[in-house]
Amino acid sequence: MTIKKFVVGCFDDEDILFPAVKKVRKAGYKIHDVYTPFPVHGLDKELGMRDTSLHTVGFIYALTGLTTALGFISWILTKDWVQNYGGKPHFSLAAWIPIMFELTVLFSGVGMTLTFCYLCQLAPFVKKHHFHPRATDDQFVMVIECTPNTNVQEAEGFLAAAGAKEVNVQMAETGWWLGRYDMDKKLFDHTAETVTA
Amino acid sequence: MIKQQFETPAKYKKWTYGLLAVGLVAFLAGFFFLGLSKDEHDQTRFWAGLLQNSLYFLMICNACMFFICINILGHSSWQTTFRRVPEAIAAVVPVFAVVSMLVFIAIVVGDQHHIYHWLDKDAVASDKILSWKKGFLNPTFFFVWTVVTLAVWILVGRKLRQLSLRADEGEITGEEARQYIWNNTVWAAIFIVFFALTTGSTIPWLWLMSIDAHWYSTMYSWYTFMSSFVGGLALIALFVIFLKNQGYLEHTTTEQLHDIGKYIFAFSIFWAYLWFSQFMLIWYANIPEETIYFKPRLQGVYKGIFWFNFIVNFIAPILILMTRGSKRNYAVMTFMAMTLVLGHWLDFYQMVMPGAMGDHFSLGWYELGMLAFFIGILMFFTGRALTKAPLVPKYHPYFKESLIHHT
């Protein structure tokens, strides 16, 4: 993946964060992401993010589970290992519905969880850059990605003016990479240039 | 200018009186041609039609009070902007309670044993199963428990309505607000516990399952309850959309409609879950005294209605209401809510008729006329209840939270 330059601003209040997001977007800065300690209602809309497609994927997984169950069980009980259960027809849909239901739920549940982890770039032994440790505690961390046209000083000043309590510039890896958080040296290599405003 | 006070539009009145007139004609014609007929099939058709409609509409109206109560107990605020709508629908419970009571008296005292087979004393005496059930299925217990049930529904429902009206009078703050929420919680809890004892268990056994007196199913009450709950939710959606279109309920937004849609979607699936749970165990065990219930429905003349019922009340909502967009779309929600109100009416039809009418069922002028009559009654009294109080409980402690609700 690529290493990019980011301007990072920490806010301590949602009520300051929302107008700040609006101002920063209006000024033409590219917001990489906003990290919050808890889900903030309406922030996705404010950031101009599109609705997630996770539910569509979930529906596809569900259909896959349903057809898998129906196909597999009907193949077993009508072709491969035909048995007589109390004189019921071999193709007994009513008896299979619980299994079809369970596999539908299982496929969509597991599939959506894994897809969600992939989209959020979360996995065991995989590491992502943390812009600010307090984003998991009490700070709302807004990250602006620097393009070749971005004036870094100006962006820092803009964030501070918009109400950021702490502003700094970081070089960071955008993607994820394999490695344990506490043992990987890469983390320290790329965050050398940290300036506190 | 915020429109807070509902005034019945002329078109609404026209429809109400039109339906009432059509229904009244159908009722009178039914009474003279069917009720007073010498033919027992005609008599049964008359009373079974009344029984089905009065019970269905009584139970969906009462389900609206249940909706309010679960929201009170869950401390949910999102429904505060439109809670006067389910309250107004629930205000029709006393009317339908009286109607149902009259129908019960006519059926039990008039000895309509084609509907309630356990009324036939000779049959009970010579029938082992029915004589075992005599302690439960007898006129005295039937009336005592019905009266107690209806009285508690009406009284506790009225108490909750009065508590809600308190939110029109003036600011409720601080300790008083806490006390207010607590009072609501206590009364809602009383209602729900009693609701579980009645709609959740004994009442459908007594009113509906006893039509097939020999047969029993432990799923039956839940199934009936869910059927009426989905019907009630669909009614709430219809009235909310109607009021929105008339320019009322300006605080109720697409977000609230989305949540009503989620309720309808979820409980349609739960209805199907219970439908299937009841069906599969009986199908699997294949014991004659249990499968007798499904024989006319699955293989007899009710086959079409039985499957149509399943498609309308499960396949349609799950496919149509699945996406976010359709739950936020007024036209789709109106269509789906109407379909479900009628669909669960059909569900009650197929619960009552096979036991009462056997193979000689009919779904003609009388049944549809009765449907029109009861919808007319519902519209008349709900419209009246809506005019009685402001549409927005603006001093309710949760009102502010409801305004900023979004999903």
The CA distances from residue A73 to A27, A64, B233, in Å, are: 59, 14, 37
19-58 of A, contacting B, C-beta below 8 A:
41-42, 51, 55
3-state percent breakdown (helix, strand, coil) of chain B, nearest 5: 80, 0, 20
pLDDT digits (tens, 9 = 90+) for B53-82: 999 999 999 999 999 999 999 999 999 999
Q: What does the pLDDT read at residue B2?
A: 59
Asked if A86 and B322 come within 8 Å (Cβ–Cβ), the reply is no
Nearest CB to B406; choose among A42, A86, A95: A42
Q: What does the pLDDT read at residue A197?
A: 45
Would you tell me how many other CB atoms lie within 10 Å of the CB of residue B11? 9
Residue of A nearest to B281 (CA): A95
pTM value is 0.89
Residue A185 has pLDDT above 70, yes or no: no
Structural domain includes residue B5:
no
pLDDT digits (tens, 9 = 90+) for B176-225: 999 999 999 999 999 999 999 999 999 999 999 999 999 999 899 999 99
Q: What does the pLDDT read at residue B226?
A: 96
Cα angle for residues B77, B223, B327 (degrees, 5° grid):
45
Nearest CB to B280; choose among A41, A59, A97: A97
Structural domain includes residue B276:
yes
Per-residue pLDDT band at B366 (split at 50, 70, 90): very high
Q: What does the pLDDT read at residue B63?
A: 96
ipTM of the complex, rounded to two decimals: 0.79
> What's the rounded Cα separation, in Å, for the pair A73 and B77?
46
Per-residue pLDDT band at A190 (split at 50, 70, 90): low
Nearest CB to A86; choose among B280, B286, B324: B286
Q: What does the pLDDT read at residue B269?
A: 95
> What's the rounded Cα separation, in Å, for the pair A163 and A15?
10
Asked if A94 and B284 come within 8 Å (Cβ–Cβ), the reply is yes
Residue A176 has pLDDT above 90, yes or no: no
Mean pLDDT of A176-180: 75
Residue B113 has pLDDT above 90, yes or no: no
Nearest CB to A94; choose among B280, B324, B406: B280
pLDDT digits (tens, 9 = 90+) for B138-169: 999 999 999 999 999 999 999 999 999 998 88
Would you state the torsion angle of the CA atoms of residues A47, A41, B241, B192, taken in this order, to the nearest 10 degrees? 160
Enter the tokens of residue B142: 């039937």
Structural domain includes residue B2:
no
Given a contact cutoff of 8 angstroms between Cβ atoms, the answer to whether B92 and B389 are in contact is: no
Give the range with max mean pLDDT: B37-46, B217-226, B356-365: B217-226
Which amino acid, residue B234? A
Residue of B nearest to A96 (CA): B280
Strands (E), A80-161: 126-128, 140-145
Structural domain includes residue B1:
no
Structural domain includes residue B383:
yes
Interface of B with A (CB under 8 A): 276, 279-280, 283-284, 286, 322, 324, 406
Identify the weakest region by mean pLDDT among A109-113, B92-96, B387-391. B387-391
Phi and psi, residue A16, nearest 5°: -85, -35
Supply the mean pLDDT for chain B.
93
Residue A191 has pLDDT above 80, yes or no: no
Would you tell me how many other CB atoms lie within 10 Å of the CB of residue A128? 17
Q: What range defines the domain where residue B277 resides?
A: 10-403
Supply the mean pLDDT for chain A.
87
The CA distances from residue B227 to A111, B63, B309, in Å, are: 32, 10, 11
Structural domain includes residue B4:
no
78-137 of A, contacting B, C-beta below 8 A:
86, 94-95, 97-98
Structural domain includes residue B298:
yes
pLDDT digits (tens, 9 = 90+) for B119-139: 988 888 899 989 999 899 999
Q: What does the pLDDT read at residue A182?
A: 54
Asked if B324 and A55 come within 8 Å (Cβ–Cβ), the reply is yes
Given a contact cutoff of 8 angstroms between Cβ atoms, the answer to whether B372 and B22 are in contact is: yes
Write out chain A residues lying below 8 Å of B284, CB-based.
Answer: 94-95
Count of A–B CB contacts within 8 Å?
15
In order of their start, the domains of chain A are 3-48+122-190 (3.30.70), 55-119 (no CATH)
| Interface mutation vs chain B, best among A14, A41, A43, most B CBs within 10 Å | A41
Number of domains within chain B: 1
In chain A, the percentage of residues whose pLDDT exceeds 70 is: 90
Nearest CB to A95; choose among B284, B322, B406: B284
Per-residue pLDDT band at A188 (split at 50, 70, 90): low
Mean pLDDT of A113-121: 92
pLDDT digits (tens, 9 = 90+) for B295-345: 999 999 999 999 999 999 999 999 999 999 999 999 999 999 999 999 999
pLDDT digits (tens, 9 = 90+) for B253-293: 999 999 999 999 999 999 999 999 999 999 998 899 999 99
Write out chain B residues lying below 8 Å of A94, CB-based.
Answer: 279-280, 283-284
Q: What does the pLDDT read at residue A192?
A: 47
Q: What does the pLDDT read at residue A143?
A: 94
3-state percent breakdown (helix, strand, coil) of chain A, nearest 5: 45, 20, 35
Q: What does the pLDDT read at residue A72?
A: 96
Given a contact cutoff of 8 angstroms between Cβ atoms, the answer to whether B130 and B123 are in contact is: yes
Per-residue pLDDT band at A121 (split at 50, 70, 90): confident
| Interface mutation vs chain A, best among B255, B277, B278, B283, most A CBs within 10 Å | B283
Tell me the nearest-neighbour CA distance from A176 into chain B, angstroms.
Answer: 31
Write out chain A residues lying below 8 Å of B322, CB-based.
Answer: 59
Structural domain includes residue B318:
yes
Q: How does DSSP assign A143-155, residue by residue?
A: EEEPPTT--HHHH
Mean pLDDT of A2-19: 90
Q: What does the pLDDT read at residue B27?
A: 95
> Smallest Cα–Cα separation from B194: which of B205, B185, B184, B202?
B202
Phi and psi, residue B56, nearest 5°: -60, -50
pLDDT digits (tens, 9 = 90+) for A56-98: 999 999 999 999 999 999 999 999 999 888 888 899 999 999 9
Helix axes B93-109, B139-165, angle to 10 degrees: 170
Given a contact cutoff of 8 angstroms between Cβ atoms, the answer to whether A162 and A9 are in contact is: yes
